[in-house]
Structure 1
Amino acid sequence: MYGTMKVAIGGPLKVAFRPWVEGLENIPAEGPAILASNHLSFSDSFFLPTMLDRKVTFIAKAEYFTTPGLKGRLTAAFFKGVGQLPVDRSGARGAGEAAIKSGIEVLERGELFGIYPEGTRSPDGRLYRGKPGGLARVALATGAPVIPVAMIDTEKIQPPGKVMPKLMRPGIRIGKPLDFSRYHGMEHDRFVLRAVTDEVMYEIMKLSGQEYVDIYATAAKRQIAEAAKAAKEAGKAEKAEKTGA
């Protein structure tokens, strides 16, 4: 099913968007490896697997497999077809452990495991602090090399609120593998986990050219939402004051 779905969806994606790729030679022809990518758009999980010869398994939100409607069914079919694994994120700790366990299992089979260290999509196109709980723990537990990946301009294809995608060429830059075998067995040392994650994020930043922000993307999203709410309330107050006057 993987090959069939990849051809059915990947072929039209290549023709329509003509994505460019640099560094494909850094993907090993066989054996386990972790692809650690920035996360700009929902479409990242479509373009990256499409452009690789080997199957790469990402952890995907369970909602992607259960969303109703035609778009939801097509999304679920694609993710299932290319082997993406659904994880229920309603319980953050449990979801994290499930993702780590799934990643280790994928790598132990000698396959490629994909992960977004930021934990969520960037709210503004900048690169945010990586979460050490997933990427670093899986890397140190398995000894698999970490390959930094930068998605380029995917956020411009379908910005928030836009229904129809914009036909443009996104890009993918794939860096050289990073070896963290010197830390093998230290996956419970929080200082080591932080150091490994920061090194990977630095390589992603060099590949992507993004501005780096040393806070988590989830915190940035909360700040943006709170600022928008405050601005809305201020607007209402100003309107009420003018109406009263």
Structure 2
Amino acid sequence: MVSLPHPLPGAVGLSHLNAYPWEAADGVCGGSPHLHLVCTEAYVVTGGEGAVQTLSPDGYRDIPLRAGSVAWFAPGTVHRMVQGGDLRVTVLMQNSGLPEAGDAVFTFPPDVLADPERYAARAALPARSGPEAEAAARRRRDLAVEGYLPLREALLAGDNGPYLAFQRAAARLVRHRVPRWRELWRAGALAAAERTGAQLDALEAGDPAYLAESRAFDAGPSRRGGFGMCGLREEYELPGTTLAHQGE
């Protein structure tokens, strides 16, 4: 049974990203386009400027990012962080632990998505840091952009077929992970909501005894310069915050 005793508010995930400066095939510098299946993600921009490119049923959007702006995207939205100049964001992720357990699928070309073993090999990094990991992260980003550009072109032309096909392929790839995700959700986001319900019941009954359990917690990054999907990542490997990535 998974236990997340002291999660962040709402059992959200937290990390910091500095968008990749690497130029892609279309001349744009930035991260690896991908989507999440069950998690809403938010960018809180803390410095620099850039954009997030999104693909959704509404079509293609290029959302400017600058210090103080916030952008978020629901499950199924393909998103690509674009570097415009020292772009730095704090990432808030719904259902902490699920993205690290594989709730993120790159926009690799269809032939890669159709082969789970090939997809896993292309999505994996050989190490957590160092030149070899950086080279693999760049190859992974380039492959994701290769699959992303045709999806974007089709949406711009009014054809959502390739985008919907990608969503279906992504769902097939992660289906086997759902039991593990359900465990993490029950221990994290669901448990946090249920605690609030229990506290409301106690207050309504005139019994604030649960307040005796109050505590303060603090933490710093446990790893800096990790290779995330969108950029160099500062991680907080706390129970229920940013677990070691199991999908890479």
1 or 2, which has the higher helix percentage? 1
Per the TM superposition, whether the score is higher than 0.5 is no
1 or 2, which has the higher strand percentage? 2
TM-score by length of 1: 0.31
